[in-house]
């Protein structure tokens, strides 16, 4: 395991999907990866170290978190803005914010007002 000083810095992009139908996690992952390959190519996609955090994806609210390297936040934002269809329904992805930790992503963007104080 690498010491913290040698690890790459990460950012967490919190997003919301606006779509005609509910979006499944698997369809979302497939769509994001195919769009990344088209836009960035294999090398840049691999260097971005993008990962959709599965346990933070809420299928009801259609909100989730993407983890990536800090240098590639704008690349990932561009990829997400190019998505128009997820699965078989029209959809777009709205970026709610970018944070440096999962804890702040949960507190600022994912939890509702009552859950924050519980």
Place of tokens 């691999």: 46
The radius of gyration computed from the CA coordinates of the chain, to the nearest angstrom, equals 15
Quick check: 16 and 61 in contact, CB under 8 A?
Answer: yes
Q: Give how many domains the chain has, as a whole number.
A: 1
Instruction: Write out pLDDT tens, residues 68-109.
Output: 999 999 999 999 999 999 999 999 999 999 999 999 999 999
CATH of the domain at 25: 3.30.70.3250
In a domain, 2, yes or no: no
In a domain, 20, yes or no: yes
In a domain, 95, yes or no: yes
Global pTM value = 0.89
Place of tokens 């519980």: 118
Q: In which domain, by residue range, is 17 found?
A: 8-117
């Amino acid at each position: 395991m690498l010491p913290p000083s040698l690890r790459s810095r990460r950012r967490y992009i919190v997003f919301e999907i606006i779509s005609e139908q509910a979006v499944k996690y698997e369809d979302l992952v497939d769509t994001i990866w195919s769009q990344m390959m088209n836009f960035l190519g294999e090398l840049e996609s691999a260097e971005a170290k993008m990962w959709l955090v599965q346990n933070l994806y809420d299928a009801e609210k259609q909100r989730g978190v993407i983890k990536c390297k800090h240098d590639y936040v704008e690349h990932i934002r561009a990829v997400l803005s190019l998505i128009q269809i997820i699965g078989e329904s029209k959809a777009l992805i709205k970026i709610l914010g970018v944070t440096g930790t999962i804890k702040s992503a949960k507190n600022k963007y994912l939890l509702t007002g009552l859950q924050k104080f519980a």
